[in-house]
Amino acid sequence: SHTKPHLVHVGHLTGHQYDVIVVGGGHAGTEAAAAAARVGAETLLITQKIHTIGALSCNPSLGGVGKGQLVKEVDALDGLCGRAGDWAGIHFSILNRRKGPAVWGPRAQLDRQRYRDFIQSELLSTPRLTMVEGSVEELLVTEPNPEEPGHHRVTGIRLANGSHAISARSVVLTTGTFLSGSLFVGQTTSPGGRIGDAPSSAGLSHTLRERLGLRTGRLRTGTPPRIVKDSVDLSLAKLHLPDSHPTPFSFLNTHTHCKPEEQLPCYLTFTTPGVERVVRESLQLNCHIQQDTKGPRYCPSIESRVLRFPGRSHQVWLEPEGVTSDLLYPQGLSMTMPPDIQLRLIREIPPMRRAEIHTPGYGVQYDFVCPTQLSPALQVKSTQGLFLAGQINGTTGYEEAAAQGLWAGANAARSALSMPTVTLSRTESYIGVLIDDLVSRGVTEPYRMFTSRAEFRTSLRPDNADLRLTPKGFEEVGCVSSVRYQESLRVRNSLQDALTALQALFLSTSSWKKKLPSVPISETKSTLLTGLDLLQYNDVTFEMLASAFPESLSSFMEFAQRLKIEAVYKPHCDLNKKEIERIQREENMSLPQDIDYFSLPVSLSDEVREILDRVRPSTLGAATRLEGITPAAVVNLLNYVRVTE
Ligand code: FAD
């Protein structure tokens, strides 16, 4: 097997057989290729332009609320984006700090060039991975099996020049916004997947739709103009500083590459009534906004924002594009009007009265494949060996793409190497929530992650992604290196030892009061309390306990923050765990066949009620396995049936 990295010329590949071919070098494709190679597959990454591998098409940032959890999970499975973020980050902050640590959102502004460089150099040093520049024109598949009509098997790809066919046991398609992509600025439309890049050839859409019979839909998104930094008067915007101590995304990193004092600030400003006037006056010159295609609801264009909420002032963040970049990224000003009107619009915002545009904003519309046609391994159900990941599945965002890419790549490798595919459940990860939502519910608008989508979010925290996923990634999936695995075991064992030591500190309330005189310990609480009970108090830190009991606790100081969070969430997580175990125990409990699911007095979504009414599962276990039924819905159902029995 290859041990040296490869960047080859396409002419050398004809007739080659790979285990896995990954098409597309965006956020999904790079994670997919790296994960497939880590699992042990000879992998080929084919992408239109080698130098755009790892490019950030839109915002120069990574993470955020819900998205940061995905980055931590990709990292726990040994993916690239967390470490790339730590290398390229120039402004780190934890969002949502006023809420509990379960829903904190680690986020960083990135230096675009550094991010790309990191991803490219990681891929170049990944054993078993070869990269080649080219555009895939066609998927090669077998004729349908007569015993299973409509079922195919993928055998490889053909490149755009028609001559090069390359064989593979698995293919992962991660073509992003490029599938039948069209770009929009004002009234001008041109074929393209991203500014400066051609769309995927029509042949690929044809294979998916006509040959494989897959259902596709159309979505859109857009990006703001990039502004010349020197032309902006930043003294008129509000300064926004990063956290003074940057928190790395990766479990493997204790520091970020950027020193705390070298971080760059962001600036906050607001739209004025003039912005709304320019949008309204130019609507007829803006064909992207006039169309019905669904755009990203949670990252809308300025046109959609002012039309939906007239008379309001909207936030605009002015973000650095990199340490040496002369540009600013105006987050919140995604727009598709003609360039001269874009200039008029931005000049209605005080700090940008004299601003110059470097590159105008534009919109893109593209095909996606309805993801309900995929298995939880992200494999097309009707085509053995074909996996899809990223924006092609109807999602939006780098983190959502990276998470799917890693999982699809690992499974593509396992399938090619004749190992069973693996799944992640909603109860163990945000990646599991993301994939379950996609394959069981599908999408009607670009899908992005939120913490509210995860029923068990108090257990699926950014701080414990390593505990939840690294052992599984090593022992069951094979995508985690032994170095990371060993370190995760060391941390897990130390945390367990620390929790045991805290529980062994079993003292009366009055003894605790003597030890920690500054803490108001309530008399109504039990007269005997453990150190772990005490750590649940708002004003008790692990450091305080360690200074009171140095002999048993001081060796665990490196885990002080994790232990505090673990203690605070312990009661919640124990309850979650019990509920999950209860569902597993009660698998065979019968569900009455005459239940009126629509009037059941428990918390169930309309969607869940409809599914239960249509299928009428005979047991709780059968309900659990239905597509679209969440673990929280099963818990509510179980509670109801138990009470009425
Ligand atoms: P991409 O990162 O797009 O990568 C696709 C890759 O596939 C590219 O490298 C391309 O060259 C390659 N490729 C495509 N077809 C072929 C082929 N046939 N053969 C070989 N290679 C091929 N996300 C947000 O969250 N918020 C936003 O506001 C937002 N706005 C966006 C605006 C624009 C204009 C664009 C283009 C994207 C925007 N995004 C936004 C989306 C974000 O860029 C994507 O979610 C993310 O990049 C998806 O990752 P991906 O790997 O699926 O695809």
Q: Give ipTM to 2 decimals.
A: 0.90
Across the strands, what pairs with 384? 153
Residue 254, SS3? coil
Q: What is the pLDDT of residue 2?
A: 39
* Distance (Å) from CA 550 to ligand 1 centroid: 52
Residues with Cβ within 8 Å of residue 213, at least 6 apart in sequence: 150, 382
Lowest mean pLDDT among 6-20, 317-331, 381-395, 538-552: 6-20
The sheet carrying 315-320 orders its strands as 238-240, 266-270, 315-320, 327-331, 226-228, 357-359
Specify the ligand 1 atom closest to the Cα of 134. 20
382: left (phi over 0), alpha (psi -120 to 50) or beta: alpha
* Distance (Å) from CA 390 to ligand 1 centroid: 8
| Tokens 């450091």 found at | 543
**Nearest to 473, CA basis, from 534, 406, 527, 563:** 406
Name which residue sits closest to atom 14 of ligand 1, judged by CA: 175
Tokens of 206: 């044809």
Local structure of residue 374 (DSSP, 8 states): B
Q: How many residues does the chain have?
A: 645
Ligand 1 proximal residues by C-beta, below 6 Å = 23-29, 46-48, 52, 57-58, 135-136, 174-178, 193-194, 197, 200, 204, 221-223, 296, 299, 334, 364, 390-391, 396-398, 401
**Nearest to 102, CA basis, from 435, 623, 557, 468:** 468
User: What secondary structure does DSSP assign to 94-120, as a single string?
Assistant: EETTTS-GGG-EEEEEE-HHHHHHHHH
* Distance (Å) from CA 600 to ligand 1 centroid: 43
* Distance (Å) from CA 166 to ligand 1 centroid: 24
Q: What is the pLDDT of residue 201?
A: 73
Name which residue sits closest to atom 46 of ligand 1, judged by CA: 398
Name which residue sits closest to atom 42 of ligand 1, judged by CA: 397
* Distance (Å) from CA 392 to ligand 1 centroid: 9
Name which residue sits closest to atom 36 of ligand 1, judged by CA: 194
* Distance (Å) from CA 57 to ligand 1 centroid: 6
CB 387 within 8 A of CB 237: no
**Nearest to 47, CA basis, from 116, 125, 127:** 116
Lowest mean pLDDT among 249-263, 422-436, 630-644: 630-644
Name which residue sits closest to atom 43 of ligand 1, judged by CA: 57
Across the strands, what pairs with 381? none
69-117 pLDDT per residue, tens? 999 999 999 999 999 999 999 999 999 998 888 889 999 999 999 999 9
Name which residue sits closest to atom 26 of ligand 1, judged by CA: 397
Q: What is the pLDDT of residue 607?
A: 83
Specify the ligand 1 atom closest to the Cα of 299. 28
Specify the ligand 1 atom closest to the Cα of 137. 18
Among 347-356, 547-556, 612-621, which range has the highest average pLDDT? Answer: 347-356
* Distance (Å) from CA 239 to ligand 1 centroid: 31
Lowest mean pLDDT among 227-241, 376-390, 439-453, 521-535: 521-535
**Helix 67-76 vs helix 465-472: crossing angle, to nearest 10:** 40
* Distance (Å) from CA 398 to ligand 1 centroid: 8
* Distance (Å) from CA 507 to ligand 1 centroid: 57
Q: What is the pLDDT of residue 1?
A: 36
Sign of CA dihedral 340, 346, 350, 354: negative
Name which residue sits closest to atom 29 of ligand 1, judged by CA: 58
**CA atoms of 119 and 29, how far apart (whole Å):** 11
Local structure of residue 145 (DSSP, 8 states): B
CB 365 within 8 A of CB 184: yes
* Distance (Å) from CA 368 to ligand 1 centroid: 12
Residue 614's identity, in one-letter code, is R
Tokens of 315: 């936030």
* Distance (Å) from CA 328 to ligand 1 centroid: 21
Going by pLDDT thresholds of 50, 70 and 90, the confidence category of residue 645 is low
* Distance (Å) from CA 359 to ligand 1 centroid: 18
Specify the ligand 1 atom closest to the Cα of 27. 51
**CA atoms of 136 and 544, how far apart (whole Å):** 60
| Tokens 């002032």 found at | 313
Q: What is the pLDDT of residue 5?
A: 45
On the question of pLDDT at 355 being above 90, the answer is yes
Name which residue sits closest to atom 38 of ligand 1, judged by CA: 58
On the question of pLDDT at 349 being above 90, the answer is yes
Q: What is the pLDDT of residue 523?
A: 65
Counting ligand 1 atoms within 8 A of each CB, the residue from 178, 395, 400 with the most, and so the one to mutate, is: 178
Residues with Cβ within 8 Å of residue 444, at least 6 apart in sequence: 294
Lowest mean pLDDT among 40-44, 349-353, 400-404, 529-533: 529-533
Going by pLDDT thresholds of 50, 70 and 90, the confidence category of residue 446 is very high
* Distance (Å) from CA 400 to ligand 1 centroid: 11
Counting ligand 1 atoms within 8 A of each CB, the residue from 13, 47, 329 with the most, and so the one to mutate, is: 47
> Where in 96-201 does DSSP place strands (E)?
105-110, 129-133, 136-141, 152-159, 165-173, 182-185, 188-191
User: What secondary structure does DSSP assign to 22-77, as a single string?
Assistant: EE--SHHHHHHHHHHHHHT--EEEEES-GGGTT--SS-SEEE-TTHHHHHHHHHHT
Counting ligand 1 atoms within 8 A of each CB, the residue from 44, 46, 48, 207 with the most, and so the one to mutate, is: 48
Q: Which comes out higher in pLDDT, residue 352 or 524? A: 352
Counting ligand 1 atoms within 8 A of each CB, the residue from 10, 21, 22, 27 with the most, and so the one to mutate, is: 27
Name which residue sits closest to atom 44 of ligand 1, judged by CA: 397
Tokens of 187: 């009234």
Across the strands, what pairs with 167? 17, 156
Residues with Cβ within 8 Å of residue 166, at least 6 apart in sequence: 13, 14, 16, 18, 21, 44, 46, 156, 157, 158, 159
Q: What is the pLDDT of residue 9?
A: 67
* Distance (Å) from CA 22 to ligand 1 centroid: 14
Q: What is the pLDDT of residue 271?
A: 96
pLDDT mean across residues, the chain? 91
Residues with Cβ within 8 Å of residue 514, at least 6 apart in sequence: none
Name which residue sits closest to atom 4 of ligand 1, judged by CA: 26
Percentage of the chain modeled with pLDDT above 70: 97
* Distance (Å) from CA 151 to ligand 1 centroid: 29
| Radius of gyration in angstroms for the set of CA atoms belonging to the chain, rounded to a whole number | 26
Q: What is the pLDDT of residue 635?
A: 85
Name which residue sits closest to atom 3 of ligand 1, judged by CA: 176
Q: What is the pLDDT of residue 477?
A: 98
512-529 pLDDT per residue, tens? 888 888 887 776 656 788
- Nearest 5°: CA angle at 60, between 53 and 81? 55
Q: What is the pLDDT of residue 247?
A: 96
On the question of pLDDT at 250 being above 50, the answer is yes
Specify the ligand 1 atom closest to the Cα of 392. 52
* Distance (Å) from CA 169 to ligand 1 centroid: 25
Tokens of 531: 């150190």
Tokens of 475: 């022992």
Residues with Cβ within 8 Å of residue 203, at least 6 apart in sequence: 137, 138, 160
**CA atoms of 139 and 158, how far apart (whole Å):** 6
**CA atoms of 443 and 451, how far apart (whole Å):** 18
Tokens of 391: 């924006």
**Nearest to 79, CA basis, from 7, 30, 115, 130:** 30
**CA atoms of 346 and 348, how far apart (whole Å):** 5
Going by pLDDT thresholds of 50, 70 and 90, the confidence category of residue 206 is confident
Lowest mean pLDDT among 35-44, 280-289, 365-374: 280-289
Classify burial at 45, counting beta carbons within 10 Å of its beta carbon; exposed 0-12, middle 13-18, buried 19 or more: buried
User: What secondary structure does DSSP assign to 434-457, as a single string?
Assistant: HHHHHHHH--SS-B---GGG-TTT
**CA atoms of 65 and 301, how far apart (whole Å):** 20
Q: C-alpha 498: how far from its chain's center?
A: 31
145-163 pLDDT per residue, tens? 777 777 899 999 999 876 7
Q: Are strands 357-359 and 226-228 parallel, antiparallel or unpaired?
A: antiparallel
Query: How many Cα atoms within 13 Å fall on the side-chain side of residue 594?
Result: 0
User: What secondary structure does DSSP assign to 535-588, as a single string?
Assistant: HTSTT--HHHHHHHSHHHHGGGGGGHHHHHHHHHHHHHHHHHHHHHHHHHHTTT
Q: Are strands 43-47 and 129-133 parallel, antiparallel or unpaired?
A: parallel
CB 263 within 8 A of CB 90: yes
The sheet carrying 105-110 orders its strands as 61-63, 105-110, 89-95
Q: Which comes out higher in pLDDT, residue 642 or 549? A: 549
Name which residue sits closest to atom 40 of ligand 1, judged by CA: 397
**CA atoms of 276 and 287, how far apart (whole Å):** 17
